[in-house]
Chain A
Amino acid sequence: MKYITPSKKTHLILLVFLFEFFLIFPLSYGSTEENGAKKPSKAFWSVGNTTMFPGKVQIDKEGTTETFNFNPTFSFGLEYPFRETLLIIPELGLNFSGNGRHAAVSRSTFFISTDPGKRFKYFLLHTGIGLHWTFIDGPGGTETLNNGNSSTAFYLPEFTSISSNLTWTHGIGFPLDFMFDQKNAVLKLDSALYNPFDSLKRAVTYRIALQFSFSVEGLPTFFNGD
Chain B
Amino acid sequence: MFKLKAFSFLFFFVFHIALGHSFTFNNNAAAAFDKDEITVNVNDTDCAGADSGDSNYACNSDFITPQKLLDLTERAINRFWNRIPTTRLNLVRGSLVSKGNTFRRGQLCNESYASGTCTPNTALKVSSDILISCNCHKNNFGDSNVGILGVTIPNNYDGVAIKGSLILINGRHDGFHNLTDNEKINVIGHEIGHALGLGHSPVEDSLMYYSNIGKRDHLGWDDLDGISYLYPSSQPLNLNCGTVSLKSPNDSDSSESNSGPNNTSFFLLSFFSIVFLGFILRYGRRRFF
Is the pair A25, B249 in contact by a Cβ cutoff of 8 Å? no
A70 and B15 contact, Cβ closer than 8 Å, known pairs A10-B264, A136-B225: yes
Is the pair A63, B20 in contact by a Cβ cutoff of 8 Å? no
Is the pair B24, A156 in contact by a Cβ cutoff of 8 Å? yes
Is the pair B249, A146 in contact by a Cβ cutoff of 8 Å? no
Tell me, in angstroms, the Cα distance from A149 to B248 when the chains sit together: 46
A134 at interface, CB cutoff 8 A: yes
Is the pair B85, A197 in contact by a Cβ cutoff of 8 Å? no
A154 and B25 contact, Cβ closer than 8 Å, known pairs A4-B262, A164-B234, A196-B265: yes
A171 at interface, CB cutoff 8 A: no
A60 at interface, CB cutoff 8 A: yes
Q: Among A8, A47, A134, point to the contact of B228 (Cβ < 8 A).
A: A134
**Considering only CB atoms, which chain A residue lies closest to B226 in the complex?**
A157
B201 to chain A, nearest CB (A): 8
Count how many chain A residues have C-beta atoms less than 8 Å from C-beta atoms of the other chain: 88
Is the pair B272, A21 in contact by a Cβ cutoff of 8 Å? yes
Interface residues of B in 191-235 (CB under 8 A from A): 199-205, 210-211, 213-221, 224-225, 228-230, 232-235
**Considering only CB atoms, which chain B residue lies closest to A194 in the complex?**
B85
Listed residue (A47, A147, A197, A223) with the most chain B CB atoms within 10 angstroms of its CB: A197
Interface of chain B: mostly helix, strand, loop or mixed: loop
Is the pair A150, B116 in contact by a Cβ cutoff of 8 Å? yes
Q: For B287, what are the chain A residues with a Cβ–Cβ distance below 8 Å?
A: 82-83, 223, 226
A98 at interface, CB cutoff 8 A: yes
Q: Among A29, A47, A147, point to the contact of B9 (Cβ < 8 A).
A: A47
Per-residue CB proximity of A183-226 to B under 8 Å, as 1/0?
Answer: 01100000000111111111100000010100000000011001
Is the pair A194, B261 in contact by a Cβ cutoff of 8 Å? no
A194 and B26 contact, Cβ closer than 8 Å, known pairs A63-B215, A145-B202: no
Is the pair A158, B146 in contact by a Cβ cutoff of 8 Å? no
Tell me, in angstroms, the Cα distance from A130 to B152 when the chains sit together: 39
Q: For A33, what are the chain B residues with a Cβ–Cβ distance below 8 Å?
A: none
Q: Among B11, B202, B247, point to the contact of A143 (Cβ < 8 A).
A: B202
Interface residues of B in 111-135 (CB under 8 A from A): 113-114, 116
Is the pair B19, A106 in contact by a Cβ cutoff of 8 Å? yes
A193 to chain B, nearest CB (A): 9
Tell me, in angstroms, the Cα distance from A152 to B265 when the chains sit together: 44
Listed residue (B146, B220, B225, B262) with the most chain A CB atoms within 10 angstroms of its CB: B225
Q: Among A104, A199, A210, point to the contact of B20 (Cβ < 8 A).
A: A104
Tell me, in angstroms, the Cα distance from A212 to B4 when the chains sit together: 9
**Considering only CB atoms, which chain A residue lies closest to B258 in the complex?**
A200
Tell me, in angstroms, the Cα distance from A5 to B156 when the chains sit together: 37
Is the pair A61, B17 in contact by a Cβ cutoff of 8 Å? no
Q: Which residues of A pack against B, CB within 8 Å? A: 1-8, 10, 14, 17, 21, 25, 29, 47-49, 53, 56-63, 65, 70, 72, 74, 82-83, 96-107, 131, 134, 136, 138, 142-143, 145-150, 152, 154-159, 161-166, 180, 182, 184-185, 194-203, 210, 212, 222-223, 226
17 contacts between A and B (CB under 8 A): A5-B247, A6-B264, A56-B219, A57-B224, A58-B217, A72-B15, A74-B12, A101-B221, A104-B20, A104-B21, A146-B200, A149-B146, A150-B114, A157-B229, A159-B30, A195-B85, A200-B83
Q: Which residues of B pack against A, CB within 8 Å? A: 1, 4-5, 7-9, 11-12, 15-28, 30, 78, 82-87, 113-114, 116, 146-148, 199-205, 210-211, 213-221, 224-225, 228-230, 232-236, 239, 245-249, 251, 253, 258-265, 268, 272, 275, 279, 283-284, 287-288
Sample of 17 more A-B contacts, CB < 8 Å, known A63-B217, A154-B26: A2-B248, A4-B264, A7-B259, A10-B264, A48-B11, A59-B205, A105-B23, A106-B19, A107-B20, A136-B225, A161-B232, A163-B228, A180-B4, A185-B4, A198-B261, A198-B262, A210-B4
